[in-house]
Amino acid sequence: MTKKKKVVVAMSGGVDSSVAAGILKEKGYDVIGITLQLYTVKQEIKTKTCCSGIDIYDAKEVARKLDIPHYVLNYQENFKKTVIDNFINSYRNGETPIPCVQCNQHIKFDDLLITAKGLGAEFLATGHYIRKKKVNNIDGLFKAKDESKDQSYFLFQILEKDLDYLYFPLGDLSKEETRLLAKKYEIPVANKPESQDICFIPYGNYRKFLSKYKGFKKPGNILDTKNNIIGKHEGIENYTVGQRKHINVSINEPLYVVKINKENNSIVVGKKDSLKSKQIKIHQINWLGKKSFLKNKVYKNLYIKVRARQKPIKGTLELLENKEGKVLLDDYTYAVSKGQGCVFYDNQDQLLGGGWIK
Amino acid sequence: MRYYLDYNASAPMDERVKSYVKEIMDMHGNPSSIHTKGRKLKDLLEISRQRIALLTKCNQKNVIFTSGATEANNLALNGYKKKIVSIIEHESIKKQKNTITIDVNKEGYIDLVMLENILQSINKKEGVIVSVMFANNETGIIQPIEKIIKITKIYQVPFHTDAVQAVGRLNINFLKLGIDMMTISSHKIGGPSGAGALIVNSKKHILKPLLLGGDQEDSLRSGTEPLLAIAGFGQAAELLDMKKIEKLKALRMAFEKKLKKAKLGIQIIGENSNRLPNTFLMYTPGIKAEDLLIALDLEGFDVSTGSACSSGKAEPSMVLKRMGYPKKMASGVIRISLGLYNDISEADMLVNALKKILKRFGKI
């Protein structure tokens, strides 16, 4: 009797990861479901519940339906350290963070990966929409077939050494196909709405969330691009580069946030034109493409995204010391924000890596 | 093949308990009814009470049946205004209002001086109760019950003990020890879940019922008695063979010896403390308890981290933290609790599984 291959699936209790588990089960794997408890939702009633979250319950119900073992791992401490604290600090520094990338980087594809290996699994699978394919016999990551669902941007920090161990069963599916499979597997969450917000922020209200921490709500000046004070703001955390709302300064033309200065607690606003840029400095570059790249200094004809929902723009990456780099876009882009990812693809939609915008 | 090493969570039901309960399933009626069927069931209820009394060495009248130990603990403390409790109690005690906690030392015993100081500092002793568990569910460490009782007697405050893990594993003489109230549970001694009891030596204690209704159980626990569970509880008590259970100590020690010799750095918590014959808490360096628990489950071993909650998430051991161990150790302990169906070959299997798991986790 050949032993079935073991695979660990990260199950969030949502449709996608539930279907991922279902697909693997159908393919004949020995599937183990794991749900990560990342934070505690404060309930309306005052008691701090032992295990919060309807999502954990949902994941358990899906696992029961699929007849696979399911476990909950408590990663709250690590999530706080690597994701939430980083999110808060990022806003303190006038940046616009993307916590999902850090969660993928430090939680799912680090701690959970170690556990999956320890449990004897041959793969760690997730419900991300991204494809893994071999190119010249080397594993590579590619945009999802359904580009509207593509999550490759959020996965640019996956390490090349881990690729061999990862499995993304949804990369070739559209959301519609996923939902159909959910119905086919009789997954109880088939009609659950998609989560849009940052998971640990209740009701998507990040300002209210931040207000519980020190160092926010510091009033400061709103400057124009010539450094004239033209108004007051209630804290730099309320602004993101490119934002139009909440500026409260009226001139004839619409104004946008063009810069956030942590040093003097000011924001700079200007016309749309002053938002555009071609040069971007990045750090902590992670490379997933051909290894030989790292010997080169310059990489041309990359397709580059500076935010999740954006059409890639062609450009060049120049590699500097200490995993830092300079990106020069062929065309102007608008509202490049510190703290977001700058992610590279080739002309075949292969995810080549990325870095954090400085 | 599965290996059940989690008797402290729940012990398997004896076949004879099952067949006894099955027999009673055919007898319908309500023990409170006056007619023949009702009286027959009432008899069975009292037989169970007798059997529990025999096991714990108390009078039949001392036994108040409840739905389980959580309810019994709540009933015991419900009427008291000030509850002096150890810091390692079960949640049903820990979550009570108006508690004062007594620390435990590294050996796992409560601080008797602190207990005395607390009692001394309270002028009005009315409405004060002391509650300390007989033996800890995670470590198996047995508290110095006689010494505690001596102190509570001096200060004339009632003493309650949660003896859920101790009953059926130790010979307990409720009346001789001078315990005022004691909580016990059915499914920890091989009975069905859904039954427990509070044993009370005198009606002078402040007992405030949690449920109001038909005044069953001397008005302390209203509601139709769950006779199937209670009868099974009594039958399990009747069948307990303490001589066999005492022999579990040798098995436990053999397990501990094999685990320590496996060169995995395993430590037994409270090794030199006075412990239950069947329980040990082990620390395995280099691996989180939750990872180890899952990995062992997948290898066929049912073990526990001692404080898993209802959703199945493992938490660092609160008991170990309270004993003053660093958090890292508290996050790396699993509990093994043995019973009559275990044997020493399972220790070898466990050692092999641990080696395999630690290797995969890159620790050896």
With a CB cutoff of 8 Å and minimum separation 6, the contacts of B253 are none
Query: Around Cβ B93, how many Cβ atoms within 10 Å?
Result: 23
Distance CA A190, CA A178 (A): 9
pLDDT of residue A291: 72
Task: State residue A307 phi and psi, 5-degree precision.
Answer: -155, 165
Would an 8 Å CB–CB cutoff place B295 in contact with chain A? yes
Angle formed by the axes of helices B248-261 and B345-360, to 10°? 30
Which residue in A51, A100, A199, A342 is the catalytic one? A199
Please identify which residue in the block is written with the tokens 């102190």: B151
Task: State residue B335 phi and psi, 5-degree precision.
Answer: -105, 135
SS3 A141: strand
Q: Which residues of A touch B295 (CB under 8 A)?
A: 118-120
Which residue is closest to B313 within chain A, CA to CA?
A72
Sequence-separated contacts (24+) of B32-37 with Cβ below 8 Å: B32/B214, B32/B216, B32/B224
Question: Counting every residue, how long is chain B?
Answer: 364
Domain A6-203 homologous superfamily, CATH: HUPs (3.40.50.620)
Query: Is A114 within 8 Å of B361 when comparing Cβ atoms?
Result: yes
Task: Name which of A38, A115, A124 to mutate to probe chain B: the one with the most chain B Cβ atoms within 10 A of its Cβ.
Answer: A115
Output the six-digit token pair for A234. Answer: 């209630």
The strand pairing partners of A313, in sequence order, are A304
Output the six-digit token pair for B76. Answer: 């015991």
Query: Is B311 within 8 Å of A57 when comparing Cβ atoms?
Result: yes
Please identify which residue in the block is written with the tokens 């499914």: B187
Q: Which residues of B touch A37 (CB under 8 A)?
A: 313
Tell me the shortest Cα–Cα distance from A60 to chain B, in angstroms: 9
Residue B247 CA, chain-centre distance (Å), reads 19
A233 membership: H or E segment, kind and range: strand A229-233
- The helix/strand count (H/E) of chain A reads as 8, 17
Would an 8 Å CB–CB cutoff place A54 in contact with chain B? no
Across the interface, of B310, B312, B360, the residue whose CB is closest to A71 is B312
Output the six-digit token pair for A132. Answer: 């893994």
Across the interface, of B291, B294, B309, the residue whose CB is closest to A50 is B309
SS3 B2: coil
Distance CA A211, CA A215 (A): 9
A304-357: pLDDT as tens digits: 999 998 999 999 999 998 999 999 999 999 989 999 999 999 999 999 999 999
Which residue is closest to A6 within chain B, CA to CA?
B298
Query: Is A51 within 8 Å of B295 when comparing Cβ atoms?
Result: no
Query: Is A73 within 8 Å of B287 when comparing Cβ atoms?
Result: no
The secondary structure of B193-232 as a DSSP string is: SS-EEEEES-TTS----SS-SS-TTTTTS-S---HHHHHH
Angle formed by the axes of helices B227-239 and B15-25, to 10°? 150
Residue type, A232: K
pLDDT of residue A51: 41
∠ Cα A237 A238 A241 (to 5°): 90
Query: Is A119 within 8 Å of B312 when comparing Cβ atoms?
Result: no
Report whether CATH 2.60.120.260 matches the domain A275-357: no
Dihedral angle over CA of B233, B237, B240, B243, nearest 10: 150
Distance CA B94, CA B87 (A): 8
Query: Is B290 within 8 Å of A74 when comparing Cβ atoms?
Result: yes
Radius of gyration of chain A (CA): 22
Q: May I ask the CATH architecture of the domain A217-270?
A: Roll (2.30)
Across the interface, of A74, A117, A118, the residue whose CB is closest to B315 is A74
Q: A47 exposed, middle or buried (CB, 10 Å; 0-12, 13-18, 19+)?
A: exposed
Angle formed by the axes of helices B145-154 and B112-121, to 10°? 20
ipTM above 0.95, yes or no: no
Domains A6-203 and A217-270 share a fold: no
Q: Which residues of B touch A72 (CB under 8 A)?
A: 311-313
For chain B, domain boundaries = 15-239, 243-360
The secondary structure of B284-351 as a DSSP string is: -TTS-HHHHHHHHHHTTEE-B-S---TT------HHHHHTT--HHHHTTEEEEE--TT--THHHHHHH
Chunk chain B into consecutive blocks of 10 residues (it has 364) and report each block's average pLDDT, rounded to whole numbers: 95 96 94 95 98 98 98 98 97 96 97 98 96 97 98 97 97 98 97 98 94 95 97 98 94 98 96 97 95 96 76 76 92 94 97 97 90
Query: Is B309 within 8 Å of A114 when comparing Cβ atoms?
Result: no
Q: Which residues of B touch A7 (CB under 8 A)?
A: none
Output the six-digit token pair for B128. Answer: 């004060």
Tell me the shortest Cα–Cα distance from B53 to chain A, in angstroms: 36
Distance CA B197, CA B67 (A): 8
Across the interface, of B313, B357, B360, the residue whose CB is closest to A72 is B313
Q: Spelled out in words, what is the top-level CATH class assigned to the domain B15-239? A: alpha beta
Across the interface, of B297, B298, B360, the residue whose CB is closest to A117 is B360
Query: Is A74 within 8 Å of B313 when comparing Cβ atoms?
Result: yes
Query: Is A120 within 8 Å of B295 when comparing Cβ atoms?
Result: yes
The strand pairing partners of B197, in sequence order, are B65, B184
Residue type, A277: S
Cite the active site residues of B: 309
Pairing of strands B63-66, B196-200: antiparallel
Query: Is B357 within 8 Å of A118 when comparing Cβ atoms?
Result: yes
Alpha helices per DSSP H over chain B: 15-25, 36-56, 69-78, 91-94, 112-121, 145-154, 174-177, 227-239, 242-246, 248-261, 289-298, 318-322, 327-330, 345-360
Tell me the shortest Cα–Cα distance from B299 to chain A, in angstroms: 9
Output the six-digit token pair for A106. Answer: 């430090």
Tell me the shortest Cα–Cα distance from A212 to chain B, in angstroms: 26
Would an 8 Å CB–CB cutoff place A24 in contact with chain B? no
With a CB cutoff of 8 Å and minimum separation 6, the contacts of A137 are none
Please identify which residue in the block is written with the tokens 């308890």: B289
- The residues of chain A scoring below 50 in pLDDT are 1, 43-51
Query: Around Cβ A357, how many Cβ atoms within 10 Å?
Result: 21
Across the interface, of A57, A74, A118, the residue whose CB is closest to B361 is A118
Q: Which residues of B touch A56 (CB under 8 A)?
A: 311, 313
Q: What is the DSSP letter of A293?
A: G
pLDDT of residue A55: 84
Closest CA to A182 of A70, A68, A65: A65
Supply the CATH classification number for the domain B243-360: 3.90.1150.10
Query: Is A74 within 8 Å of B291 when comparing Cβ atoms?
Result: no
Query: Is B311 within 8 Å of A119 when comparing Cβ atoms?
Result: no
Would an 8 Å CB–CB cutoff place A332 in contact with chain B? no
Across the interface, of A37, A72, A119, the residue whose CB is closest to B295 is A119
Domains B15-239 and B243-360 share a fold: no
Distance CA B167, CA B322 (A): 24
Q: Which residues of A touch B364 (CB under 8 A)?
A: none
Closest CA to B11 of B179, B173, B184, B141: B184
pLDDT of residue A191: 81
Cβ-contact B197, B69 below 8 angstroms: no
Task: Give Cα separations from B306 to A269, B139, B322, B337 (angstroms).
Answer: 57, 9, 14, 10
Residue type, A221: N
Please identify which residue in the block is written with the tokens 């450009």: A315
Would an 8 Å CB–CB cutoff place A57 in contact with chain B? yes
Interchain CB contacts (distance < 8 Å): A and B? 57
Across the interface, of B314, B315, B360, the residue whose CB is closest to A118 is B360
Cβ-contact A185, A68 below 8 angstroms: no
SS3 A83: helix
With a CB cutoff of 8 Å and minimum separation 6, the contacts of A261 are A94, A236, A267, A268
Residue type, A160: E
Would an 8 Å CB–CB cutoff place A80 in contact with chain B? no
For chain A, domain boundaries = 6-203, 217-270, 275-357
Q: A153 exposed, middle or buried (CB, 10 Å; 0-12, 13-18, 19+)?
A: buried
Task: Give Cα separations from A217 to A222, A233, A257, B212 (angstroms).
Answer: 14, 9, 17, 53
Would an 8 Å CB–CB cutoff place A124 in contact with chain B? no
Cβ-contact B3, B302 below 8 angstroms: yes
